[in-house]
């Protein structure tokens, strides 16, 4: 095979276009991967809608990639042809900035991000830096494993950032929340799910995954929260979550983009409540989560689309019509 197909974004605000391209060759340290499934994440939507600055253009979105190694570049070790691998959002780091040197490569000064500043997985093939690819636990099939690569990994980093919260609120019940609630309940936490007001289907979905309670984001949970994670890109949820957490409680913003946060009285932040954000992931996060995930027995709810229906998947995500995670199934 000498050609590949990809769904390409030429300019933010436009639909993706299917293009044929010559099959790329992996450079030193890289692997060529034949994509079998690629999750559709809210970050892809932010890239496509022009809400994130300076994407590489044209760009192939997609950073929840599951595939098989098709070719190895010079010097690659630890992977074999045909092996199943996952490719996440963190595509490369510089390795020498102060952040890389202090175990905070998620904050690298010169990173590459899959599907944003290097081509991603809305394609039949992609090339990745092998040092940032991972073997995947065998229990889940390709489409079911894809959402672990971002919703799972960055969800996990957000969850870790929330600390040892016995009562945990999750605002925004999309792909990340539906994974995290299963892990949290398995770890003995009481999880409270917050959705758009009146979204009875999403609330039922949250309860079906083990949430002790689910309601609208304007509602008070049945008990004060030790911590809350906000996955929905809605700034007004920050003061709402602050009101729901106890003294010393923490509000974790897990998304890459959010609408402006409205002003709020200092009294709801006082008593050592904290607001923190989560950016990207480290490879250590990935190794840790991929080791824990199989033990939790978690299942992912995926809505499958063929590759050439990527725009429909993005529209369904934008319109809040999905339960669980959208996944493009390439083969």
The residues of the shown chain that bind Zn ion, judged by CB under 5 A, are 41, 43, 93-94, 97, 100, 108, 150
Tokens of 283: 């490879």
Whether the CB-CB separation of 154 and 176 falls below 8 Å is answered with yes
CB of 123 to Zn ion, least distance (A): 16
- Number of Cβ atoms within 10 Å of the Cβ of 189: 22
- Cβ closest to Zn ion, residue 26 vs residue 155: 155
Which residue number, 172 or 239, has a Cβ lying nearer to Zn ion?
A: 172
Q: Which is nearer to Zn ion, 94 or 292 (CB)?
A: 94
DSSP per residue, 251-274: EEE--S--PPPPP--GGGTTTT-E
User: In angstroms, what is the minimal distance from the CB of 318 to Zn ion?
Assistant: 15
Q: Which residues pair with 36 in a beta bridge?
A: none
DSSP string for residues in 290-325: HHHHHHHT----EEEEEGGGHHHHHHHHHTT--SSE
100 vs 310, beta carbon nearer Zn ion: 100
Distance from C-alpha of 330 to C-alpha of 200, rounded to nearest angstrom: 32
CB of 319 to Zn ion, least distance (A): 18
Instruction: Report the nearest approach of Zn ion to the CB of residue 158 (Å).
Output: 12
Judging by DSSP bridges, how do beta strands 302-306 and 325-329 pair with one another? Answer: parallel
320: phi then psi, degrees, rounded to nearest 5? 65, 30
Nearer to Zn ion, 41 or 314 (CB): 41
């Amino acid at each position: 095979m000498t050609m590949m197909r990809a769904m390409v974004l030429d300019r933010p605000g436009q639909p993706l276009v299917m293009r044929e391209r010559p099959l790329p060759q992996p450079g030193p340290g890289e692997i060529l991967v034949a994509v079998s499934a690629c999750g559709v994440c809210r970050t892809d939507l932010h890239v496509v809608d022009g809400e994130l600055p300076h994407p590489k253009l044209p760009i192939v979105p997609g950073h929840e990639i599951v595939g098989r190694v098709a070719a190895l570049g010079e010097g690659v070790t630890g992977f074999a042809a045909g092996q199943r691998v996952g490719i996440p959002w963190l595509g490369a780091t510089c390795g020498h900035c102060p952040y890389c040197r202090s175990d905070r490569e998620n904050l690298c000064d010169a990173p590459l991000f899959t599907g944003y500043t290097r081509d991603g997985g809305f394609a039949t093939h992609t090339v990745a830096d092998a040092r940032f690819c991972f073997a995947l636990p065998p229990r889940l099939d390709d489409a079911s494993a894809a959402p672990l690569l971002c919703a799972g990994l960055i969800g996990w980093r957000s969850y870790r950032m929330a600390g040892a919260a016995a009562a945990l609120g999750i605002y925004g019940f999309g792909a990340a929340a539906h994974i995290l609630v299963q892990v949290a309940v398995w770890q003995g936490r009481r999880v409270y799910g917050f959705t758009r007001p009146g979204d009875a289907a999403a609330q039922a979905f949250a309860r079906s995954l083990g949430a002790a309670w689910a309601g609208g984001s304007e509602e008070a949970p049945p008990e004060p929260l030790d911590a809350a994670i906000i996955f929905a890109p809605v700034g007004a949820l920050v003061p709402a979550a602050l009101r729901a957490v106890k003294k010393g409680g923490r509000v974790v913003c897990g998304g890459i983009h959010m609408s402006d946060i409205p002003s709020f009285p200092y009294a709801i932040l006082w008593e050592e409540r904290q607001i923190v954000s989560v950016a990207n992931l480290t490879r250590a996060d990935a190794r840790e989560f991929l080791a824990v995930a199989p033990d939790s027995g978690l299942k992912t709810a995926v809505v499958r689309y063929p590759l050439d229906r990527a725009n429909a998947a993005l529209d369904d995500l934008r319109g809040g019509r999905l339960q669980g995670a959208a996944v493009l199934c390439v083969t």
